[in-house]
Every structure is written in C-alpha cells, then in structure tokens.
Amino acid sequence: MPKYDIYTEACKLMGGEPVKGPDRRGWMHFWCPFHPDAERRGKRGNPNFGINVNEGNWKCFVCGKKGGSLYALAKALGKDGRYLRQATMSPGPRNSPQEASSVPYIAEAISVARSALFRSPVWPYLTQERGVLPETAAVYGLGYGVPYPKVSKATYAKALEAKLATKRGWWLWAEGIVYAEPPTNPITIQVRHTRENAPHKYQTWGPGLAQPMGAWRCDRDTRTIVVVEGMIDMLIIAQALTQRDLKHVRAVYTAGATPSYTMLGWFTQHPEYEYILIADPDNAGLQWIDTVSNAIKEGGAEFVALFPPNDLDPDEAILKGWWPGELS
C-alpha cells in the first residue's frame, strides 16, 4: 500500500505552507478554512487551525471543526481525497524531532518477564480467573512484570531512559501482565496492571500507539477484524477464533475507551477490512463505539457494533458460550 507524507499533503489541501510550526508537539498552524480566521491577520492574531504532522488529525481551536485524518479534511473542504483513503500516512520530513524509542534495547528485560510468567502470581489470574490458555499467552509473548529484574547495566540504563525503571532499581511494570508489541523486535511495551495501587489500568512505554494492539497478526488473508477495548478481551477472542479455525479473522484491542488519534487513523486508513466492534457494557463502551466507528466510517469500511448479553464483558460472554452471529 503506498504511503503519503502528512506535511506535504496537508500543505496541498490548505493551499500553502503553515503560518507557524510544526511545534514540538507536531502541530502546524494555518488560518482556519471554516471560519474567517484570516481576518485577524496583521492584528497580532494567531492562526487557530492545527494539523498534527505526526498523526494527521486536525482541529480549529475557535470554531471547533475537527477530524481524525487528512482524508476527512479533504472531504470537509470538498476536495478529492480518495488517494488519501487508499494510502498509509507517514510523518512529514519537517516533523519536530522525537526521542527514539528505547524499547528495542531492553529485549533482555522482556525475556526475563516472559520466563517469569508461568511461576508468577499473575499466572493463576490469567489462566484460572480469566480463562487465557497457555498457548495463547505464548503466541502473544506475555510476560510478568518482575519488580527488580536481573538485567545488565546497559539494559537498565535504557529502561531508565524509557522511564520504565526508577533510580531505585524498581520497574514500573511491577506485578503487571507485560505485553510487547510486536512480540518479535518490539517497539512498544504495554502493561495491564494488577496491583491495587497502580496509577492506571494500562501503561505504555515506547512510541504512541500507532495501531491497535494485536494488529501485527493481520496478513494478506485477513478479511475481518474484531475490535475490543481490553487486553484480556482480545486474548480470549483470539483463542476462540483459533479454536473455530477462523484464519481470516483477527482480534485487536484499543487499550481503553479513548484510543489515540493515531490509532483511530489506522482504522480510517484500512478500509479493506470489515470490522466487528464488541463493547464493554457501560457508558464508556457507548462512547468507544461512537469514536471507533466514526474513524472506520471515514475510511469507508463496513462495521457492526455489538454488546454482549446480560451486561457481560466481551471475554466473560465468550467464555460463557456467547458468540457473534456475524462470525458463525
């Protein structure tokens, strides 16, 4: 699939170079094309329309017009953006410099986490309480967040750089379920915390999530993608797909109810798949469906949105025998 340069294509759509930026967060600023923003030109007014050179999302800080991709911007401007829908985006050459990920350099620590999983406190939680099979854990390279892993000084230094370890030697993934994406040569580490005093349910190290977790398993035979919010949901669905020999279907998760703009852009940029969204049974699940489905619709793909029966979470429902009719 061809790629396009966000900076170059944004300038084409906006009819010229940005007035300001990109800044250190990747925002380049133009006069807003949806309200008379440029009338403030020469009166110490600042341009209010921003396009993110890293992710392709855009918004006006005054009139509120916004969208998740350059394809959506082209449609809003009444321009032909079909080529943007069929291509994948890459950050422009004038992007503000970003710190390189340290994750690839701590493979030693990831190996320690994986080797510790089967004798860790989270193993009974995963297999007995949540129903994850050992072979599923192996396929996805799950590990256990050893609080003080025995690693080399070089690996520890990289973990400090990535803000994964503290100067006291304690690692922030402590006692959690460690998932490296992709499992081979990972660039992102995500932890599903299990300890009670963890600051968040999920925590991520490495670059922002540019695609839903688990998307590394998509290949040329993939036709349908099941999308859920959580890691355990994804693992249970993935093993159910394997048991049913549905090789053309893959499962991914968004690591919570508020996916990043970059991740939403992935859904927009992949209209070649059909999507099945299975939501958690709460208000956040409703908002999640709205957010993800809007990104899918921008790309022109087909989707269905489902809630499991009896207010069950997706993984619980599947373990109790429920299965989407769309996959029968």
CATH number of the domain residue 31 falls in: 3.90.580
Mean pLDDT of 80-95: 55
Of 205, 240, 272, which residue constitutes the final position of a domain? 205
Residues 245 and 314 in one domain: yes
Residues 264 and 308 in one domain: yes
Residues 135 and 172 in one domain: yes
pLDDT of residue 91: 44
Mean pLDDT of 292-299: 91
Mean pLDDT of 260-287: 91
Number of domains in the chain: 3
pLDDT of residue 97: 34
Is 94 domain-assigned? no
Burial bucket for residue 297 (CB in 10 Å: 0-12, 13-18, 19+): middle
Residue 185: pLDDT band with limits 50, 70, 90: confident
Residues 26 and 127 in one domain: no
Asked if 102 and 162 count as a contact pair (C-beta separation under 8 A), the reply is yes
Find the angle CA(279)-CA(218)-CA(313) to the nearest 5 degrees. 20
Residue 131: pLDDT band with limits 50, 70, 90: very high
The verdict on pTM exceeding 0.85 is no
Mean pLDDT of 204-217: 83
Residues 320 and 252 in one domain: yes
pLDDT of residue 55: 77
Of 187, 205, 223, which residue constitutes the final position of a domain? 205
Neighbours of 210 (CB within 10 A): 17
Residue type, 155: T
Is 96 domain-assigned? no
Beta bridge partners of 204: 190
Residues 109 and 83 in one domain: no
Residues 59 and 23 in one domain: yes
276: left (phi over 0), alpha (psi -120 to 50) or beta: beta
CATH number of the domain that 119 lies in?
3.90.980.10
Residues 149 and 227 in one domain: no
Residues 284 and 224 in one domain: yes
Residue type, 199: P
Mean pLDDT of 69-87: 79
Is 29 domain-assigned? yes
Question: Nearest CA to 52 among 36, 37, 70?
Answer: 70
Residue 290: pLDDT band with limits 50, 70, 90: very high
Is 162 domain-assigned? yes
CATH number of the domain that 293 lies in?
3.40.1360.10
Q: Please, what's the b/e burial string for 275-291 (b: 16 or more CB within 10 A of its CB; e: otherwise)?
A: bbbbbbbeeebeebbeb
Most confident listed range (3-7, 87-91, 194-198, 211-215): 211-215
Query: Does residue 99 or residue 191 have the better pLDDT?
Result: 191
Residues 236 and 319 in one domain: yes
Residue 1 has pLDDT above 60, yes or no: no
Lowest mean pLDDT among 10-24, 37-51, 242-256, 311-325: 37-51
Per-residue pLDDT tens for 9-45?
Answer: 899 999 988 998 887 778 899 999 999 887 776 455 7
- Residue 135 belongs to what domain range? 103-205
Is 237 domain-assigned? yes
Indicate the average pLDDT of the chain: 87
Of 182, 205, 228, which residue constitutes the final position of a domain? 205
Residues 227 and 267 in one domain: yes
Per-residue pLDDT tens for 100-118?
Answer: 566 778 889 999 999 999 9
Is 289 domain-assigned? yes
Is 47 domain-assigned? yes
Residue 254 has pLDDT above 70, yes or no: yes
Neighbours of 198 (CB within 10 A): 17
Q: Which residue spans within 130-246 are E strands per DSSP? A: 143-144, 177-181, 188-192, 202-205, 224-228
Residues 230 and 272 in one domain: yes
Residue type, 101: S
Terminal-residue alpha carbon distance, the chain: 30
